[in-house]
Amino acid sequence: PSLAEALERDHGDCFNIICNTIIKNQAFTARLHPQILVAADAHFHFSYHRYSARFLSDLVAFLDGSGATFYTFDKFAAFLRRRIPEIAGRVCGMPACRKAYGFDFDQDFSLFPGDSVLNMFLLPLGSFLGQEVVLNGFTGRAPSDSFFWSHSELHQYAELMEDVRQAHPAFFRNRDYGQYANTVDDAIKLRVTAAREAGKGMRSATTSFYTAFQA
């Protein structure tokens, strides 16, 4: 939800990386001119339900109208290249086989496994590509949230979420969402600390409940 705080700001002097269903907001993404889009969740983005179909449709439209490259895991990239061959040249697949966290992609073009697209892709890519990493819209889990965390309906297919739950019930059943959020938060701290120790600036420009961005 905190991405609303960034919608009217000028991001024109930045190398912009966006993720997931933010591409639903076509006016905002067109104004951002992002260079990279990332998505890597099998249950949401690469499945057989209407949520996934909507995302893939929006993905094709986004790539057709931009100069961006789509980054995902190598196994999903192979799936996409076969399913949607017209975007094959715009899809970059990265393996998740690092033994420890790092962002020296010139030396090792692979990712350190973890929870959330922020931890696995956005923070390491941002740390590799820039000296000052500024995050917008990574609200995290508010104390009042009952799900993973809240989303903005401008950037999420809220009306199709039930399709995901029906297709993958075990993914949601008996899950401790609070504990999951803590796990994500701990992983963010590790990555933010590594970036800052390497001389990188890293901060959130919008409201965030992640403790690493509150210091």
Residue 116 token pair: 């959330």
The whole-number average pLDDT for the span 10-36 is 93
Q: What is the pLDDT of residues 136-158, one digit of tens each?
A: 999 888 787 777 777 788 888 99
pLDDT band at 4 (very low <50, low <70, confident <90, very high): confident
Eight-class DSSP state of 136: -
The whole-number average pLDDT for the span 129-135 is 96
Find out whether 91 and 72 touch, Cβ atoms under 8 Å: yes
Residue 110: C-alpha distances to residues 24, 29, 199 (Å): 28, 27, 22
Strand partners, 18: 37
Neighbour count for residue 153 (Cβ, 10 Å): 11
Q: For all residues of the chain together, what is the average pLDDT?
A: 92
pLDDT at 2: 86
**DSSP three-state, residue 139:** coil
Predicted structure pTM score: 0.92
Q: What is the pLDDT of residues 160-200, one digit of tens each?
A: 999 999 999 998 888 888 888 889 999 999 999 999 999 99
pLDDT at 121: 97
Q: In percent, how much of the chain has pLDDT > 70?
A: 100
User: 215 pLDDT exceeds 70?
Assistant: no
Q: Please indicate whether residue 1 or residue 85 has the higher confidence score (pLDDT).
A: 85
User: 98 pLDDT exceeds 80?
Assistant: yes
Residue 139: C-alpha distances to residues 95, 181, 187 (Å): 27, 11, 15
Question: What secondary structure, in 3-state letters, does 53-122 show?
Answer: HHHHHHHHHHHHCCCCEEEEEHHHHHHHHHHCHHHHHHEEEECCCCCCCCCCCCCCCCCCCCCCHHHHHH
Q: Please indicate whether residue 1 or residue 193 has the higher confidence score (pLDDT).
A: 193
